[in-house]
Structure 1
């Protein structure tokens, strides 16, 4: 199952712990880990940290349900290829015409709780994140977003104080793909 998620270079104790939790979840639930099965307490999701062509800004969505600025991404809905899901979600949410994967490795793993909403109980998202670059800045806001914005990496903290999003910026810079 983990070979379908990809390779993750563990750099910190936090990375090691998140990767171990993701591996354990997938080992326990197999294909169900990639579904929206409410009985298992969570599911694997995939995100795309999409840089502009110049590598100085990231495309963020003002998420309609969560009312927060976040990277693009979403549910796997039964697809275990998380890199494919991240790119598919980025296309669907942004309307971008061309998004290139910058590196095949997983950029980050973040496990976080999603609050209960309607009939859906609180659950965990085991989010697997990849680094992409758009070939143009032309986007279209989808129904899943209140807005989209190219946010300069140097101003990211003005849009979000979420450590999980700021960590993506820092890792993209460390990989040499982005400039602050």
Structure 2
């Protein structure tokens, strides 16, 4: 798999705090060491792509209630061999929400840029051992008036304000992305 585009994005990315800086470096090291980093068959961990979806006015964020994990999260999923992690994030967001108005927020040169980096543990499930997701997150916009058409993986989906997200007892990872939008 061609890792150079992701390595370039990771090297260009400027984390917002010490925790995210450490996770970005860990992710960079992981991608450099593992040519198969985009394949979920790499059982120690793999690259995933996520979408932090906001309304055009940046007043609301779209979160899904993931059925298996029983938590409110941003849409996202496995790269499954695709090294274009921005495309993975967009595809997963479309599959999980049914939204067609999704668009990637790009930098001034019309290139995708990383919005957030997170490394988190996924618990063992069946034959798959506990492993890490090296999650590369991209900022997307969508029309909050568009109806949802969510997948079987999703228990619920909702546009939420920052206060709503704080009331969900969200992880630091989710709250960090909120701070990036709302501060």
Q: Shared fold (TM-score greater than 0.5)?
A: yes
- Which secondary structure does the structure 2 equivalent of 1:34 belong to? coil
Which residues in structure 2 correspond to 1:64-79 (within 5 Å)? 64-79=67-82
Structure 2 contact 121–132 (Cα < 8 Å) conserved: yes
Shift in CA distance, 25/86, structure 1 to aligned 2, threshold 3 Å: same
* Cα distance change on mapping 1:11 and 1:162 into 2, 3 Å: closer
Q: Name 1:177's counterpart in structure 2.
A: none
Structure 2 residue 154 is matched with structure 1 residue 152: no
Aligned to 1:24: 29
1:58 aligned residue (33, 58, 61): 61
2:151 to 135, 142, 161: 142
**Partner Cα distance (2:142, 2:79) in 1:** 22
TM-score (norm 1): 0.89
Question: What is the root-mean-square deviation in Å for CA atoms of aligned residues?
Answer: 1.5
Is this contact kept in 1: 2:72–2:170, CA < 8 A?
no
With normalisation by structure 2, the TM-score equals: 0.88
Deviates more, 1:65-74 or 1:155-164: 155-164
Change over 3 Å in CA distance of 1:64–1:18 after alignment to 2 = same
Does the CA-based 8 Å contact 2:58-2:181 persist in structure 1? no
Q: Would the alpha carbon gap of residues 16 and 2 (structure 1) be closer, same or farther in structure 2, given more than 3 Å must change?
A: farther
Note if contact 2:144-2:159 (Cα within 8 Å) is conserved in structure 1. no
Residue segments in structure 1 that go unaligned for 5+ positions in a row: 175-180
Equivalenced residue count is: 172
Give the unaligned 5+ runs of structure 2: 107-111
